[in-house]
Amino acid sequence: MQNEILKVYSGSIAEELGVQVGDRIISINGEEIKDIIDYRFLMADDYVTIEVEKKDNNEIWELQVEKEFNEKFGIEFKNGIIDKAQSCRNKCIFCFIDQLPKGMRKSLYFKDDDSRLSFLQGNFVTLTNMKDEDIDRIINYKISPINISVHTTNAHLRIKMLNNRFAGNVMERLERLSQGGITMNCQLVLCPGVNNGKELTKTIMDLYKFYPNIKNVAGVPVGVTKYREGLFDLRTYDKSMAEEEINLASQLQENFIKEIGVPFIRLSDEFYVLADMDIPEKEFYENFDQLEDGIGMIRIFRENIKSTLNNLKKGIKGEFTLVTGVSAFKEIKSAGDVISSVNKNLNINTVKILNDYLGHTITVAGLITGRDIIKQLKKVKYGEYIIVPKNMLKVDTKMFLDDILIEDIEKALNTKVLVCEYTGEDLIEIINEHAGRNNTCQNQ
């Protein structure tokens, strides 16, 4: 049911006024609530009138609410955006969802392209399914920041890459958003021979015209699974191509740093791993705003290990197996070796999981499946605890990409599985907490 309330927070204004789970918000100040953006915008005032339909008898309550400006009412909706998410109308040549095997859970095949999810959850939008009034709404409601998948500013090339005849007006859309004071983060999925090289330079310089409204630009390499039958022929990056992209970006970054003090364009860690080049220093990443694009994850992990190593308890003993993908293996192993060198009683092993499920060209840890972990760990010696990164799991669940649960891995391997953010400091905390415990779920 639309606008249905899922949760009422204890001690909130809503609870004090008798609002209950299952009630519905009908209107605020006489305005119909179409989605979460309407709700947040209208609720920002310090005095609002709310119409609530009660779940028990469908009675309509009119609540007069006086509060501090932007003070929370204290509810969550059953549907996070209070509306059906807008699906993607593009058929991008690099779309990862089109490369998934059949038979996975239905939600994995849904392609969202919704500015509300961009604002609320950090999802990226292409702007191709938006009308002029939708752009106006973003500006009027100050929906900012918004994350935009640009890929190229070449109108003809963008139409080709997105397979959408409406995709060529991206510069006009970006200009309107910039003039409206909207902060934007832009993403470029880089495909060798398509939108890299000279095209990449043009795109970066075009986007730079909108700085500081366009705050960051992230470049990530295209991901190609083994399920690309009948799709656009794409190449993946190798060592030399990754080096070329880093060198191209470096030349631009030097100029941007001189002009504005920041690099503006940053490439994901995967480029540096492929090129076997060290990642930039922490100052390069400023506030690490692009971690979701895999930009700066290695650096922040390394810095956090260094800064929290002194927190490692000296008297503890234990055996831990750190599970990761190909891209992060070298860094995770190095961290495990450093921790073991500080405390010789800790036996820390790092295991690189190859992505048999999607193909070995997929090297990031976040796309590793539970089945691959079980199959490959059975071939090696693992310790009292297995530590997996949280980004392998579906948000707020214990489920891997292939619907395998943490409990399934524990049962198959007879070993306790711990979940770690892999930000660095939390790895030390987990080892401190569990080392020396009597783990009743140990492999034989």
> What's the rounded Cα separation, in Å, for the pair 361 and 343?
36
Boundary residue ending a domain (294, 327, 347): 294
> What's the rounded Cα separation, in Å, for the pair 39 and 254?
44
Cβ atoms of 275 and 242 closer than 8 Å: yes
In this prediction, residue 45 carries a pLDDT of 84
| 334 is a domain residue | yes
Residue 127 and residue 210 share a domain? yes
| 311 is a domain residue | yes
Residue 256 and residue 368 share a domain? no
For residue 323, give the CATH number of its domain: 3.40.50
For residue 147, give the CATH number of its domain: 3.80.30.10
Residue 22 and residue 48 share a domain? yes
Residue 314 and residue 286 share a domain? no
Rg (CA), the chain: 24
| 402 is a domain residue | yes
Residue 351 and residue 246 share a domain? no
Residue 287 and residue 361 share a domain? no
| 91 is a domain residue | no
Task: Assign 3-class secondary structure to the chain.
Answer: CCCEEEEECCCCHHHHCCCCCCCEEEEECCEECCCHHHHHHHHCCCEEEEEEECCCCCCEEEEEEECCCCCCCCEEECCCCCCCCCECCCCCCCCCHHHCCCCCCHHHHCCECCHHHHHHHCCEECCCCCCHHHHHHHHHCCCCCEEEECCCCCHHHHHHHHCCCCHHHHHHHHHHHHHCCCCEEEEEEECCCCCCCHHHHHHHHHHHCCCCCEEEEEEEECCCCCCCCCCCCCCCCCHHHHHHHHHHHHHHHHHHHHHHCCCCEEECHHHHHHHCCCCCCHHHHCCCCCHHHCCCHHHHHHHHHHHHHHHCCCCCCEEEEEEECHHHHHHHHHHHHHHHHHCCCEEEEEEECCCCCCCCCCCCHHHCCHHHHHHHHCCCCCCCEEEEEHHHECCCCCEECCCCEHHHHHHHHCCEEEEECCCCHHHHHHHHHHCCCCCCCCCC
Residue 363 and residue 285 share a domain? no
| 332 is a domain residue | yes
Q: Cα 166 to chain center, whole Å? A: 26
Residue 123 and residue 59 share a domain? no
In this prediction, residue 35 carries a pLDDT of 79
Residue 308 and residue 287 share a domain? no
What is the span of the domain harbouring residue 430? Answer: 302-434
Boundary residue ending a domain (19, 47, 77): 77
Residue 312 and residue 289 share a domain? no
Count of domains in the chain? 3
| 442 is a domain residue | no
Q: Is the pTM of this model over 0.85?
A: no
In this prediction, residue 440 carries a pLDDT of 46
Each residue's pLDDT expressed in tens, for the chain with a length of 444 residues:
578 899 999 999 999 999 999 999 999 999 888 877 788 888 888 899 999 999 988 899 999 999 887 788 999 888 755 556 566 888 999 999 899 888 777 777 667 665 555 555 567 889 998 888 889 988 988 888 899 999 999 999 999 999 999 999 999 999 999 999 999 999 999 999 999 999 999 999 999 999 999 999 999 999 999 999 889 999 999 999 999 999 999 999 999 999 999 999 999 999 999 999 999 999 999 989 888 889 999 999 999 999 999 999 988 999 999 999 999 999 999 999 999 999 999 999 999 999 999 999 999 999 999 999 999 999 998 889 999 999 899 877 899 999 999 999 999 999 999 999 877 788 999 999 998 765 544 443
| 222 is a domain residue | yes
Boundary residue ending a domain (266, 294, 322): 294
Is the backbone peptide bond immediately before 101 cis, with ω within 30 degrees of 0? no
Residue 131 and residue 33 share a domain? no
| 90 is a domain residue | no
> What's the rounded Cα separation, in Å, for the pair 54 and 21?
9
Cβ atoms of 50 and 5 closer than 8 Å: no
For residue 9, give the CATH number of its domain: 2.30.42.10
In this prediction, residue 306 carries a pLDDT of 92
In this prediction, residue 60 carries a pLDDT of 93
Residue 232 and residue 151 share a domain? yes
In this prediction, residue 80 carries a pLDDT of 59
